[in-house]
Structures are given as structure tokens and as C-alpha cells.
Amino acid sequence: MKIRSILVTGIISIMITNASFAQKIAAGWVYTYSFDGNAYDVGPNRLHGQMIGGVEAASDRFGRENKALHFNGSDGFIRIPFSANQNLPVSNFAFTVWVYVDKYNDSPYWENLKTSNYSPIFCKTETATNFQYRFGASDKGFYFDGGEEGNSKGIYTSNGVTLMPGKWNMIAVSFNGYVAKYFLNGRLIACENVAAHFVSNNQPLIVGCDFPGQASYFAGKMDDFSIWDKFISEEEVKQIYAVQSKYPFNPPPITVPAVVQDEPVKPAVIENTTVVSTTTILQPADTSKQIKTTKTEIKPKDESVFDVKKGDKIVLKHVLFVQSKDDFLPESYAELDRLVATMNQHPQITIEVSGHTDNQGNRDLNLKLSEERAIKVKDYLVSRGIEAKRINVKGYGPDKPISANDTEEHRRLNRRVEFEIIQM
């Protein structure tokens, strides 16, 4: 038990560090695109892009539908407009992006690459000249190209490390004004001195397309594209990869304003809504008369959070695990994010996350597995910024069934993770 206690304490310490780290990193965002079926900037500046041509929603690296974007390789790209207030930096900047290359396209204009197989990731221009910088990958290496007074200053990594088609990879480049560092899946793969002085321009940022003489397009999927106005260190890139390869990035949900009816309406039961009627008494100049008006507000129930009060026990019905393991199935993240949103909305609450199993198999192993799954839920919450001290964990194994263990359907109900509000 002492070893187990040390292990749990270590995990909590690591996750607290990750949460603080995430806040530190986010502070440097210029633009951040989660590509959740759209090109919205979910960072602080809200410079939304426009999907043009063959760009559509796709599954991400966790198998979640509509959580990435697919580019068709022939006419699809994203155009992010120029912003005088938030133009991309020309020194001390970094970017990270997850990419899945379907195939490399034939692009004979990239003479410096010694290959015609090229996948453009982004460029800061929509013409063949006057670019601020561009970045892409080939079957020979990566290419980072900066414009210096109209002249190309290409930096080509020729060490043979590149993207393999048919696989998700995280690419990162970090530049401090003198040196560009290239990373693949959190690992430093190249470091190049940069003699160019990048020149800012008033061109849009184009994602998934480049213009080396004529348009060249990216074929594959992209996800979680972020640009910083600072140099990020090798250790920071490693941590970004460690977190993003394990947990999906989920921006806050969009809040839809309530619909207000100006005319009095008869209260009705409408599925997934709450009807609130307000009566106001107006006092006109003639005090012998009163005018009574009623305004009825139909508010959609907020399905992004749980409705909670102290003592509530709520089963996370859609948090599912690989059989006999503590690995989440892809469909689990929506409900986990709902719990994150609930705890953000109620910052005073403390919860107990408990794991439960059916009565099949070895009891001690079931107790261990149920605790590991509860810890896994806590780890996810902490990685999304929830304080570890607000979350207790407990594995009850088969000891607290909510149904008889006489049929498979009943046993399935007992295999669950739930949370209880213990302080509010």
C-alpha cells in the first residue's frame, strides 16, 4: 500500500505540473485552430479562417468524428485573413500541428528539395512572391522557407527524417531569430542556423496550400494547429507532444443565447428546454390603473454540463474503457469534457471519482482495475486544468453494484465510473 501511495502521489504531482504547464504555454498563443470540423480560432484573438474547396470534417487521431479536417489535395485549403493587430511574428515564434499525410503530391517547382513529392502545410502569402514564410514536408525531409526582401531563404532538413503517409504525426518548428529547431513527435530532428531576416507582409495565412509557381495542395488531415509569438524550448515541445498524444484538445463550447419571446405565450413542455415566465407590473401616470405584462423565456438546457447538487452520484455512462484495461475508448471524451465543464462552472465543488466492476474474476484484480480507471479519469480532468485537490479517487471493485450480477446486461451496468459531489 505504501508503494501504491507513492505512485498515486507521483501521478498527481506530474498532472499538476502539466496543468500549470498548459496555462503557461497557452499564454503565448497568437492563433490556435482545433479544426473541430471548422476553421475557428479558439485562441484569444478569434481570427477565424475560411474553408475553401475540398476541405471537410474528419476523424482525429483519437478516432473522434468531426474533430479534424481533411484536405482533398486538389483544391482544398484554409484562408486566414491578414490582421494588422495580430500579424504573425517574424522572430521568436513557434508552431505545432498534427498532420496525417494521405500521399505526397507531385510538385516540380520545389527544386531545392531534390524531389517533387511535397506536402505544403502552410504559407504566409497567396501569391508566388512576397511571402513571409512557408513550411512543408517532402519524402526527403522538411522545408522551412523565409522571404527576405522578396528573396527565398530556404532551410531544408536533409537528414531523411520525414512524415510517413498513413500515420498521425506532430510537427513543431521553433525559431528564436537565429536558429530554427525542427521536431517530429516531440523529438528534436534538426537544428539550423538562419541567416535570413524575415519580412512581415499583409498577406493572409494559407493552410494546406502553397504557391511555388503554381498552387500545390496538401492531401490528408490536419488537427490542432497553434502558432506562438515566442520561442518554445525543446522540453516544452516534448511536454506538448506528451499531453496532446494522450489527451485530445477541446476548446470551450460555444454558448448559445436564450431565445426571448416578446409576446406572452402559454408555458409548454418542450424537450431539453426550461421555460421561465416573468411578470412585470408597470405603473402608468394614472395610478388607478396597472398594466401587467408577461415575458416568457425559453432557455435550452445546457447539455454541456451536468446538473449537480451536493450528494449527487452521477454515472458517467459514456466513459468506456478497453476491456480489462484503463485505456479510454474514443467515445469517452465527450462525457469527460462535460465533467470538466461542470467543474469549471462550479469552481467550489469537490468530487469523488469512483471505479466499479462486476463480480466476475479475481476480486483483488477488480479492485485494482477499478482504482486505476478512477485515477485515469482524474488524470484527464487535471490535464484539462482542474485542480488535483478537488478530485478524490476510489476503486470499489465489485463491492457496490447498482444491479444484480445475474445477466450480462446487468453486469454491464455495474462496470462503471461515477462521480459524487462531496463538497459544494
State the CATH number of the domain containing residue 225: 2.60.120.200
Q: What is the rounded average pLDDT for all residues in the chain?
A: 75
Number of domains in the chain: 2
Q: In the listed set 197, 227, 244, which residue is the last one of a domain according to the structure?
A: 244
Q: In the listed set 190, 222, 244, which residue is the last one of a domain according to the structure?
A: 244
pLDDT over 60 (residue 230): yes
Range of the domain at 121: 24-244
Question: In this structure, is residue 164 part of a structural domain?
Answer: yes
Question: In this structure, is residue 254 part of a structural domain?
Answer: no
Question: In this structure, is residue 303 part of a structural domain?
Answer: no
Q: Do 181 and 85 belong to one domain?
A: yes
Rounded Cα distance, 397 and 399, in Å: 6
Q: Which of 30-44, 59-73, 318-332 is predicted most confidently?
A: 59-73
Q: Do 142 and 227 belong to one domain?
A: yes
Q: Do 174 and 88 belong to one domain?
A: yes
Rounded Cα distance, 391 and 384, in Å: 13
What's 366's domain CATH number?
3.30.1330.60
Average pLDDT of the residues in 29-39:
87
Q: Do 193 and 78 belong to one domain?
A: yes
Question: In this structure, is residue 280 part of a structural domain?
Answer: no
Question: In this structure, is residue 381 part of a structural domain?
Answer: yes
Question: How much is the pTM?
Answer: 0.56
What is the SS3 assignment for 378? Answer: helix
pLDDT over 60 (residue 69): yes
Q: Do 237 and 341 belong to one domain?
A: no
Question: In this structure, is residue 267 part of a structural domain?
Answer: no
Nearest-Å Rg of the Cα atoms of the chain is 26
Q: Do 229 and 323 belong to one domain?
A: no
- The residues, any chain, with a CB within 8 Å of residue 224's CB and separated by 6 or more, are 33, 34, 35, 96, 97, 98, 244, 249
Determine contact, residues 219/133, Cβ cutoff 8 Å: no
Question: In this structure, is residue 292 part of a structural domain?
Answer: no
Q: In the listed set 244, 271, 302, which residue is the last one of a domain according to the structure?
A: 244
Least reliable range by pLDDT among 90-99, 292-301, 366-375? 292-301
Instruction: Give helix 363-383 / helix 333-345 axis angle, nearest 10°.
Output: 60
Least reliable range by pLDDT among 67-81, 147-161, 301-315, 351-365? 147-161
Angle made by CA atoms 173, 194, 198, in degrees to the nearest 5? 85
Comparing 292 with 35, which gets the higher pLDDT? Answer: 35
Question: In this structure, is residue 196 part of a structural domain?
Answer: yes
